[in-house]
Structure 1
Amino acid sequence: MSMRLLVFAPTRRAPTETFVRANLQGLPFEIIAYFGDEQPLSDPGRLAYGLAILVSKALTRLGLLRLATLPGSLVAWCLIRRHQPDVLMTEFGFHAVRVMEAAAWSDTPLIVHFRGSDASAQNRLGLLKDRYRRLMVIVSGIIVKSQPMRRTLLALGAPNDHLIVSPSGADERLFHGADPGRSSPLLVAVGRFVAKKGPLQTIRAFAAMRQSLPEPVALTTKLVMLGDGPLLAEARQLVEALALGSAVILPGLADRQRVAELLRQARCFVQHSQVAPDGDREGSPVAVMEAQLSGLPVVATRHEGIPEVVEDGVSGFLVDEGDLQGMAAAMARLIVEPDLAARLGAAGKRRAAANFTARHHLEQIAALLRKVIQESR
Structure 2
Amino acid sequence: MENPISSQPRLLVLAPSRRAVSETFVRANLQGLPFDVTAFFGDERPFNHPWRFAYGLAILLSKACTRLRWLRLASWPASVVTFGLIRLYRPQAVMVEFGFEAVRVMEACAWTGIPFVVHFRGSDASARDRLGLLKSRYRRLMSLAAGVIVKSQPMAQTLMALGARPDRLLISPSGANRALFKGSAPAIAPPVFLAVGRFVEKKGPLHTIRAFSLLETETQPREQRPQLWMVGEGPLVEEAKVLVQSLELQDRVHLLGLRRQEEVASLMREVRGFVQHSLVAPDGDSEGSPVAVMEAQLSGLPVVATRHAGIPEVVLEGESGFLVDEGDVAAMAVAIAKLIKDPALAARLGDCGRRRVLEGFTIDHHLRQVSGLVLKVIEESSS
The TM-score bracket by the shorter chain reads: over 0.9
Q: Quote the offset at 1:13 in angstroms.
A: 1.3
The alignment partner of 2:376 has SS state of helix
Tell me what 2:151 maps to. Answer: 145
Tell me what 1:180 maps to. Answer: 186
Tell me what 1:100 maps to. Answer: 106
> Does 2:166 align with 1:160?
yes
Structure 1 residue runs of 5 or longer lacking an equivalent are none
The alignment partner of 2:12 has SS state of strand
Tell me what 2:207 maps to. Answer: 201
Q: Quote the offset at 1:122 in angstroms.
A: 1.8
2-side partners of 1:212 and 1:257: how far apart?
32
Tell me what 2:221 maps to. Answer: 216
> Does 2:283 align with 1:278?
yes
1:290-317 CA-to-partner distances (Å, cap 9, x unmatched) read 0000000000000010000000000000
The alignment partner of 1:135 has SS state of helix
Q: Kindly provide the amino acid, as one letter, of the partner of residue 116 in structure 1.
A: G
Tell me what 1:55 maps to. Answer: 61
1-side partners of 2:152 and 2:140: how far apart?
22
Q: Quote the offset at 1:191 in angstroms.
A: 0.3
Q: Quote the offset at 1:247 in angstroms.
A: 0.4
CA contact (8 A) 1:5 1:32 kept: yes
2-side partners of 1:198 and 1:132: how far apart?
28
> Does 2:119 align with 1:124?
no
The alignment partner of 2:214 has SS state of helix
1-side partners of 2:169 and 2:117: how far apart?
10
Q: Quote the offset at 1:212 in angstroms.
A: 5.8
Tell me what 1:335 maps to. Answer: 340
CA separation of 1:118 and 1:218: change in aligned 2, threshold 3 A: farther
1:329-367 CA-to-partner distances (Å, cap 9, x unmatched) read 000000110000000000000001001100100000000
CA contact (8 A) 2:120 2:150 kept: yes
CA contact (8 A) 1:213 1:332 kept: no
Q: Quote the offset at 1:123 in angstroms.
A: 2.4
2-side partners of 1:217 and 1:165: how far apart?
46
Percent identity, aligned pairs only, is 62
The alignment partner of 1:164 has SS state of strand
1:105-144 CA-to-partner distances (Å, cap 9, x unmatched) read 0000000000000000122212100100000111000000
Deviates more, 1:117-126 or 1:98-107: 117-126
The alignment partner of 1:189 has SS state of strand
Deviates more, 1:122-131 or 1:260-269: 122-131
> Does 2:87 align with 1:81?
yes
Q: Quote the offset at 1:265 in angstroms.
A: 0.7
> Does 2:306 align with 1:301?
yes
Q: Quote the offset at 1:215 in angstroms.
A: 2.3
CA contact (8 A) 1:186 1:222 kept: yes
> Does 2:255 align with 1:256?
no
> Does 2:368 align with 1:363?
yes
TM-score where L is the length of structure 1: 0.98
Tell me what 1:319 maps to. Answer: 324
> Does 2:351 align with 1:376?
no
> Does 2:51 align with 1:45?
yes
CA contact (8 A) 2:191 2:224 kept: no
Q: Kindly provide the amino acid, as one letter, of the partner of residue 176 in structure 1.
A: K
Residue 197 (structure 2) aligned to one of 191, 195, 199: 191
Q: Kindly provide the amino acid, as one letter, of the partner of residue 108 in structure 1.
A: I
CA contact (8 A) 1:188 1:269 kept: yes
The structure where helix makes up a greater share of residues is 1
Deviates more, 1:9-18 or 1:84-93: 9-18
1:202-250 CA-to-partner distances (Å, cap 9, x unmatched) read 00000102x2673227853110000000001100110000001220010
> Does 2:352 align with 1:347?
yes
Tell me what 1:243 maps to. Answer: 248
CA contact (8 A) 2:217 2:225 kept: no
CA contact (8 A) 1:23 1:362 kept: yes
Tell me what 2:18 maps to. Answer: 12
The alignment partner of 2:199 has SS state of coil
The alignment partner of 1:74 has SS state of helix
Tell me what 1:25 maps to. Answer: 31
2-side partners of 1:89 and 1:159: how far apart?
17
> Does 2:232 align with 1:227?
yes
Tell me what 2:70 maps to. Answer: 64
Structure 2 residue runs of 5 or longer lacking an equivalent are 1-6
Tell me what 1:289 maps to. Answer: 294
RMSD across aligned positions (CA): 1.0
The alignment partner of 1:265 has SS state of coil
The alignment partner of 2:75 has SS state of helix
TM-score where L is the length of structure 2: 0.97
CA contact (8 A) 2:117 2:147 kept: yes
